[in-house]
Structure 1
Amino acid sequence: MNNAVAMPGPWVVVTVATFAQMIVAMSNILLPTIAPKLAESLGVSPILIGYQVSLTFGVATLATMFGGKAVLRFGAARTTQLAILSCGAGLALFAFPYIGAIALGSAFVGVGMGMINPAAAHMLVTYTPPARRNIMFSIKQTGVPVGGVITALTAPAIAVHFGFRWSLVMVGVMIVVLIVATQRYRERWDHDRGGVDPGRT
Structure 2
Amino acid sequence: MDTPIEPIKRRPTSSTLRYQTFTLGCTLAIQAFATGATLAFPILASMMPGLRPAQVGVFLAVVYFGAMIGSVLGSGFVTGFGPVRASQGALVLQAAGLGLLALGEPNLRLVAALLCGFGYGPITPASSQILARTTPPERMGLAFSLKQTGVPLGGLLAGAALPLAASLMSWQAAFAALALSTLIVAVASGALRSLDDQASGHIAISSTWHRPIIEVLAHRGLRAMAVVSLLFSACQLSVSGYLMAYLHQQFGLGLAQSSVIYAVTQAAGIGGRLLWGHLADRTGSSRRVLIGVCVLMAVSAAAVGAWPVQWGVVALAIASAVLGATAIGWNGVFLGEVARLAPAGRVAAVTGGALFFTYFGVVIGPPCFGWAAEHLNSIGFAYCGLAIMPVIALVLLLRRF
2:21 to 11, 21, 33: 11
Please tell me whether residue 62 in structure 1 is matched to residue 57 in structure 2. no
Question: Which amino acid in structure 2 is aligned with residue 117 of structure 1?
Answer: T
Partners of 1:11 and 1:90 lie apart in 2 by 30
Partners of 1:82 and 1:195 lie apart in 2 by 15
Greater than 2 Å deviation, 4+ residue runs: 2-8, 43-47, 182-185, 195-199
Per mean C-alpha deviation after superposition, the further-off stretch among 99-108 and 175-184 is 175-184
Q: What is aligned with 2:153?
A: 146
Larger Rg over CA atoms:
2
Question: Which amino acid in structure 2 is aligned with residue 163 of structure 1?
Answer: S
Quote how far apart the aligned CAs of 1:52 are: 0.5
Q: What is aligned with 1:137?
A: 144
Q: What is aligned with 2:80?
A: 73
Q: For the structure 1 residues 111 and 91, does the alpha-carbon distance in structure 2 shift closer, same or farther, using more than 3 Å as the test? A: same
Deviations 1:131-158 (A, max 9, x none): 1111110000000001100111121232
Partners of 1:24 and 1:106 lie apart in 2 by 13
Quote how far apart the aligned CAs of 1:100 are: 2.3
Q: What is aligned with 2:272?
A: none
Quote how far apart the aligned CAs of 1:184 are: 4.0
Q: What is aligned with 2:130?
A: 123
Deviations 1:32-54 (A, max 9, x none): 0110222x0xx342431111111
Per mean C-alpha deviation after superposition, the further-off stretch among 61-70 and 104-113 is 61-70
TM-score, reference length from structure 1: 0.88
Q: What is aligned with 2:198?
A: 192
Residue identity (%): 24
Alignment of 1:34-183 (within 5 A): 34-38=44-48, 40=49, 43-183=50-190
Partners of 1:174 and 1:129 lie apart in 2 by 31
Quote how far apart the aligned CAs of 1:57 are: 0.7
Q: What is aligned with 1:28?
A: 38
Aligned residues: 194
Query: Does the 8 Å contact 1:20/1:178 carry over to 2?
Result: yes
Question: Which amino acid in structure 2 is aligned with residue 57 of structure 1?
Answer: Y
Quote how far apart the aligned CAs of 1:79 are: 0.6
Deviations 1:4-24 (A, max 9, x none): 579982111111111000001
* Highest RCO, 1 vs 2 (Cα 8 Å, sep ≥ 6): 1
TM-score, reference length from structure 2: 0.45
Question: Which amino acid in structure 1 is aligned with residue 172 of structure 2?
Answer: R
Question: Which amino acid in structure 1 is aligned with residue 39 of structure 2?
Answer: I
Question: Which amino acid in structure 2 is aligned with residue 139 of structure 1?
Answer: L
Q: Match of 2:37, SS? A: helix
Partners of 1:12 and 1:184 lie apart in 2 by 10
Query: Does the 8 Å contact 1:96/1:102 carry over to 2?
Result: no
Partners of 1:112 and 1:51 lie apart in 2 by 18
Query: Does the 8 Å contact 2:28/2:146 carry over to 1?
Result: yes
Partners of 2:82 and 2:181 lie apart in 1 by 22
> Over the residues paired in the alignment, what is the CA RMSD in angstroms?
2.3
Per mean C-alpha deviation after superposition, the further-off stretch among 93-102 and 48-57 is 93-102
Q: Which runs of 5+ in 2 are unaligned?
A: 1-5, 203-344, 350-401
Q: Which runs of 5+ in 1 are unaligned?
A: none
